[in-house]
Amino acid sequence: MAPNMQPIQSVAIIGAGNMGSGIAQKTAQEDFDVQMVDREAQWVDRGQKIISDFLAEAVERRIFSPGQIEAIKGRITGVVGTENTAPNTDLVIEAVFEDFNIKTQVFNILNEVCGQDTILASNTSSLSVDELSIASGRPDKFIGLHFFFHPAKNRLVEVIPGKSSSTQTIDRTVQYCRGLGKVVIVCKDRPGFVVNRFFVPWLNEACLLLQEGVASAAAIDSVAMKSFRIGLGPFALMNLTGPPIALHATDYLAEQLDTPRYYGAENLREMVEAGNMWEIGVNSDCSEEVASIIRTRLMGQIFAVSGQIVDEEICSIEDVDRGAKVGLRWARGPFELANRIGISEAKAMAEDYCELANFTLPKCWERDTNFEFNYIDSFVKDGIATITINRPEAMNALNETVVAQLGRALDEVNSDNSVHTIVLDGAGKAFVAGADVKFFVDKLRADSFSDIYNFTANGHSVLEKLENSTKTTIALTTGLALGGGLELALACDYRIGTRKTQFRFPETSIGIFPGLGGTQRPARISGIPAARWAVLAGNFMDAQTAADLGLVSDLVDVTAVDTTIAKLAEAGKPENKYPGVPSNPNSKVALFAKEFYSDENLENILSANCPDGFDPEDRNVSRQLKSLSRTAPVALKMASNLIDQSGLTELSTGLDKELEGLEGIFSTEDALEGLSALIEGRKPTYSGQ
């Protein structure tokens, strides 16, 4: 966002039904001030009860404490009557029935009562945002949002600007959605937007397969689940959400896109008229020939329609896949799936469906090579280059592709004379949640250590582009930064954090040591005792702790992020990036680290024994001993030795020693055990070998 743009803080939700209450709940959970508005007190009360029940379940599952629940509910104010929405509200989200006239009435009232800076948004899954924006009376401050059910759980949101939506309206709304921890797809105002455009016809195609007698509902569901690697097939999904929703959505698309193929299948229409659900049954047997017909039809439909979405420039191939993986929880998106089964086969499936639906084959399918995905977004404004790692469906985890693309983006901005500052950011709720652990496991099992070494060496090369940049470099660590992600941030001159900042080096507990500067830069920033505290035991750091140690250089309120970027850009590079002492040496964590992780205690620490003079029953001490006992012994010792080197060598020498130690650590049995346990969701058992 531009430095003079105030982030959204107060939000009103019009409509306290299941969707409206869900949006209100999620918004309050993320510390926004919320008004939940409905026509009558009974509906507001019902919305409050829905939220209370949902949060009570979250307490039972230990997601929130009772105190957190009270704080969340305390941020939600019930309001009776749209006309009583507070005039100074930053953003109002209408979440009433999918009826154009009802929505228009709501916006007419809001346009009168809300201040001129209030953004009006419609949570819609189908209606034209452009038409609604005109009806709103303030098209420049109007935008479409499509939250997916349940809004407190599903991480996807589609943001749909109208033709007249101002850049400021779009930017502030996207910032709000990211503040909710959402994966954001900004897309054009076309019927079905992104996900429903390909998903709704997929449901109807399953109905047509059943109607034609190709196979039973159970068989179609079974083939779909295997083909798309999903937990529920189309008929089970329709039963879950209700067949009427599927019928309404597919008829709407048929009409809006003038596509007869999408008109609700007769069996679906009859089902809805009778008020029934699909009878799926348990017999999912079918021949391979029949399974091939089902697979070809369902995949061909997805490939063809996804191609139309890209051809119409509704969004990118990356966002189509993101919508499938995050919004629908598919294992792979359409284009990733096409690469997986082979472009020629996927293209043939798309052609078959295009013939059935009387479509022209989308231009994006006029290819013989795999689709290539871009995970780095970069733009320059007023001398500040913002580079965003945009892989939120994987918490922006670093893999070979991301590292290579990030390196190219940094080369480009480093050579741009108009750029004086580089801001590194991560899309979604995380900055970067480390490296892709599955990559390490796959390579170890394939006995391909050289690939691990090359990946890590390339990572060092990319971090060097930040370390040695003549530009001022800023990491926007306003979310989760783990392992390699934290190492990436520490290569920058500054790290901006907010209350949502969370840091951790988990490596020693998964059988390895931090290999992208994690044994070197923390000690040079915060001193060796603090580095031992952070790296050896893998202690979790909240925002204040990270700031006390100096790993966060600027801890600010979320509303001050943009002004802080501007301030740092003006100040330029820091005089001393590596002071070697905590920012707040008198903080509890700094004092404890200095005493507990001293040189004289190191031998005991590496053996997971309590150092002399410390009470093992003390809460802080017992926590450290417990964490240390869960680490891989070889990884712990190697990390400790490398941290010690940071006080004796130049940074470049220390980083070289990290690389030199890679083969030693990855050749241990404990490395494979720790990494495998992480992706398998179990506790590792270390042998010390």
Cα–Cα distance, 475 to 497 (Å, whole number): 9
pLDDT tier at 346, thresholds 50, 70, 90: very high
Cα–Cα distance, 528 to 378 (Å, whole number): 35
Of 447, 434, 358, 366, the closest CA to residue 395 belongs to 434
Looking at residue 517, what is its pLDDT?
97
The secondary structure of 219-274 as a DSSP string is: HHHHHHHHHHT-SS-HHHHHHHH-HHHHHHHHHHHHHHTT-GGGSPPHHHHHHHHH
Which stretches of 499-591 are assigned E, i.e. beta strand? 502-504, 541-542, 554-555
CA 378 vs. chain centroid, Å, equals 18
Q: Is the pLDDT of residue 452 over 50?
A: yes
120: tokens are: 């009006």
Average pLDDT over residues 345-365: 97
Average pLDDT over residues 631-646: 95
Known catalytic residue: 196?
A: yes
Q: Is the pLDDT of residue 1 over 70?
A: no
Q: Is the pLDDT of residue 233 over 80?
A: yes
For domain 376-680, give the fold.
2-enoyl-CoA Hydratase; Chain A, domain 1 (3.90.226)
Contact 239, 232 (CB under 8 A): no
Predicted TM-score (pTM) above 0.85? yes
Choosing from 21, 94, 123, 158, the catalytic residue is: 158
- Percent of the chain past pLDDT 70, that is, above it, reads 99
Of 393, 14, 402, the closest CA to residue 185 belongs to 393
**Mean pLDDT, the chain, integer:** 95
Known catalytic residue: 158?
A: yes
- Other CB atoms closer than 10 Å to residue 155's CB: what's the count? 18
pLDDT digits (tens, 9 = 90+) for 179-205: 999 999 999 999 999 999 999 999 999
Q: Is the pLDDT of residue 74 over 70?
A: yes
DSSP 277: -
pLDDT tier at 497, thresholds 50, 70, 90: very high
Looking at residue 101, what is its pLDDT?
94
| Torsion, CA 132, CA 137, CA 141, CA 145, rounded to 10 | -20
Domains 10-186 and 376-680 share a fold: no
Cα–Cα distance, 539 to 534 (Å, whole number): 5
Q: Is the pLDDT of residue 27 over 60?
A: yes
CA 191 vs. chain centroid, Å, equals 25
357: which strand partners? Answer: none
Average pLDDT over residues 628-638: 96
pLDDT digits (tens, 9 = 90+) for 294-325: 999 999 999 999 999 999 999 999 999 999 99
Looking at residue 648, what is its pLDDT?
81
Choosing from 125, 154, 227, 601, the catalytic residue is: 125
44: tokens are: 């507001």
Q: What angle do CA 676, 682, 686 make, to 5 degrees?
A: 65
Q: Is the pLDDT of residue 67 over 90?
A: yes
pLDDT digits (tens, 9 = 90+) for 528-545: 999 999 999 999 999 999
pLDDT tier at 3, thresholds 50, 70, 90: very low
Contact 364, 308 (CB under 8 A): no
Cα–Cα distance, 119 to 90 (Å, whole number): 6
Choosing from 196, 390, 526, 646, the catalytic residue is: 196
pLDDT tier at 41, thresholds 50, 70, 90: very high
Looking at residue 31, what is its pLDDT?
92
pLDDT digits (tens, 9 = 90+) for 253-276: 999 999 999 999 999 999 999 999
**Residues 6 or more apart whose Cβ sits within 8 Å of residue 504:** 482, 483, 486, 538, 539, 540, 541
Cα–Cα distance, 12 to 545 (Å, whole number): 33
Query: How do the domains of the chain map onto residue ranges?
Result: 10-186, 195-365, 376-680
Q: Is the pLDDT of residue 558 over 90?
A: no
Which range among 12-16, 493-497, 615-619 shows the weakest confidence by mean pLDDT? 615-619
Looking at residue 56, what is its pLDDT?
93
| 619: exposed, middle or buried (Cβ count in 10 Å: 0-12, 13-18, 19+) | exposed
Span 195-365: which CATH code?
1.10.1040.50
Looking at residue 608, what is its pLDDT?
81
Query: Is the bond into 146 cis (omega within 30 degrees of 0)?
Result: no
Looking at residue 430, what is its pLDDT?
93
Looking at residue 2, what is its pLDDT?
47
Q: Is 583 helix (H, G, I), strand (E, B) or coil?
A: coil
The CATH homologous superfamily for domain 10-186 is: NAD(P)-binding Rossmann-like Domain (3.40.50.720)
Cα–Cα distance, 168 to 166 (Å, whole number): 5
Q: Is 607 helix (H, G, I), strand (E, B) or coil?
A: coil
Of 479, 473, 400, 409, the closest CA to residue 440 belongs to 400
pLDDT digits (tens, 9 = 90+) for 111-145: 999 999 999 999 998 889 999 999 999 999 999 99
Looking at residue 296, what is its pLDDT?
98
- Other CB atoms closer than 10 Å to residue 31's CB: what's the count? 14
- Percent of the chain past pLDDT 90, that is, above it, reads 94
Question: Tokens 């629908």 map to which residue?
Answer: 328
